[in-house]
């Protein structure tokens, strides 16, 4: 009898050990694995401004390094743009020429030109007087029958030609005195303004050879090295705006109710700082069908979509760096 009890007891021991293991694993999964499901993890980030150039050139010199703190208006780098100097010389020469033409149109003809036109007019008037006297004499002789009609007609034609020449000389003199027409003056002024615009455009390109920081911040990346060529709009460096920090969380819709309202505040733990911070929601957006989702049942009656939630730190002075983990414990 004792032998049978011992055999029965020896069979129960493995069963009890196995049952104990199952219970321990179940309790561990319930208390620990389920607890992990109540944690939402995000990441700190910061707004970055990409610095680029409007014109192509060569990196002549960097004035800052990665990690340098800069102020708005600081010069970050200098570009070498040799073509701009030549274009500036061309634009300046065109401006000077247009200015001279405009001044000429405003001032009109020179004194010498006016005097010359006047002398030509007076000469033409003398020619008319002589032609008129000649015609009068010939006409009298014609009336007496001394000269032929052909001779009279020739002298009359000379008189008419002298009168026409005098009128043309008078017009040239008037034009010299009055100067250019209004349309000519406006055209000359338009050419001058166009030339000034070209000079201003080239000057703006020259200013682009100095890369200026548009904000306070920290240089996080530099892309080309000194001496390398960069194209129009090519990124040269990034400047992080340290006063615009925020955190991003990907939250399933079944856990979104506490974070869906803009202006909602919550607390998050920063492991790197061992500190709890307060944050305010300012952005909520569906990540779309490409985002990770999780079926609520094996039959998949509906899928839980994921939303991106962004929140700013209420305390802007907190020393959070981009990439630090943010933990929300529910």
Phi then psi dihedrals of residue 45, to 5 deg: -145, 175
Question: CA-CA distance, 38 to 20, in Å (whole number)?
Answer: 27
pLDDT (tens digit per residue) in 39-52: 899 999 998 999 99
* Average model confidence (pLDDT) across the chain: 80
Give 243's pLDDT tier (boundaries 50, 70, 90). Answer: confident
- Give the pLDDT confidence score for residue 242 in this predicted structure: 86
Strand intervals (E) in the chain: 39-52, 57-62, 69-70, 75-80, 210-212, 217-222, 229-230, 235-252, 265-270, 275-286, 294-295, 303-304, 306-313, 325-329
Q: Are 41 and 323 in contact (CB under 8 A)?
A: no
More confident: 35 or 118: 118
Bridge-based pairing of strands 235-252 and 265-270 is unpaired
Give the mean pLDDT of 128-144. 85
Residues linked to residue 325 through DSSP beta bridges, in sequence order = 43
Q: Are 75 and 61 in contact (CB under 8 A)?
A: no
pLDDT (tens digit per residue) in 60-70: 899 999 989 99
Q: Are 318 and 329 in contact (CB under 8 A)?
A: no
Q: Are 211 and 79 in contact (CB under 8 A)?
A: yes
Give the mean pLDDT of 268-279. 93
Phi-psi region of 201 (alpha: psi -120 to 50; beta: other; left: phi over 0): alpha
Q: Are 260 and 292 in contact (CB under 8 A)?
A: no
Bridge-based pairing of strands 275-286 and 210-212 is unpaired
Q: Are 238 and 219 in contact (CB under 8 A)?
A: yes
pLDDT (tens digit per residue) in 198-236: 777 777 677 778 899 999 999 999 999 998 988 888 899
H or E segment and range at residue 113 = helix 111-143
- Give the pLDDT confidence score for residue 191 in this predicted structure: 76
H or E segment and range at residue 102 = helix 82-107
Collapsing DSSP to helix, strand or coil, 236 comes out as: strand
């Amino acid at each position: 009898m004792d032998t049978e009890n011992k055999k029965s007891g020896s069979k129960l021991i493995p069963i009890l050990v196995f049952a104990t293991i199952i219970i321990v694993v179940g309790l561990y999964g319930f208390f620990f694995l389920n607890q992990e499901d109540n944690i939402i993890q995000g990441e700190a980030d910061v707004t970055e401004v990409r610095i680029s150039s409007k014109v192509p050139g060569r990196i002549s010199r960097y004035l800052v390094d990665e990690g340098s703190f800069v102020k708005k208006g600081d010069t970050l780098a200098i570009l070498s743009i040799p073509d701009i100097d030549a274009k500036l010389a061309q634009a300046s020469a065109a401006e000077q020429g247009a200015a001279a033409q405009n001044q000429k149109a405003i001032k009109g003809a020179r004194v010498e030109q006016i005097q010359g036109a006047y002398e030509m007019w007076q000469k033409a008037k003398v020619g008319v007087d002589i032609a008129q006297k000649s015609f009068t004499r010939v006409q009298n002789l014609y009336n007496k029958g001394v000269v032929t009609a052909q001779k009279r007609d020739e002298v009359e034609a000379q008189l008419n030609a002298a009168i026409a020449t005098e009128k043309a000389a008078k017009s040239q003199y008037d034009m010299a005195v009055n100067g250019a027409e209004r349309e000519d003056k406006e055209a000359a002024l338009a050419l001058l303004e166009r030339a000034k615009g070209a000079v201003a455009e080239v000057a703006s390109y020259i200013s682009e050879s100095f890369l200026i920081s548009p904000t306070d911040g920290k240089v996080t990346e530099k892309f080309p090295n000194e001496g390398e060529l960069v194209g129009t709009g090519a990124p040269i460096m990034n400047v992080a705006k340290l006063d615009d920090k925020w955190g991003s969380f990907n939250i399933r819709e079944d856990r979104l109710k506490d974070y869906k309202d803009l202006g909602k505040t919550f607390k998050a733990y920063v492991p790197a700082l061992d500190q709890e911070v307060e944050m305010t929601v300012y952005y909520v957006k569906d990540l779309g069908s490409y985002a990770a989702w999780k079926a609520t049942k094996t039959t998949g009656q509906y899928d839980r979509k994921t939303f991106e939630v962004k929140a700013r730190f209420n305390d802007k002075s907190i020393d959070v760096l981009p990439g630090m983990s943010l933990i929300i414990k529910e």
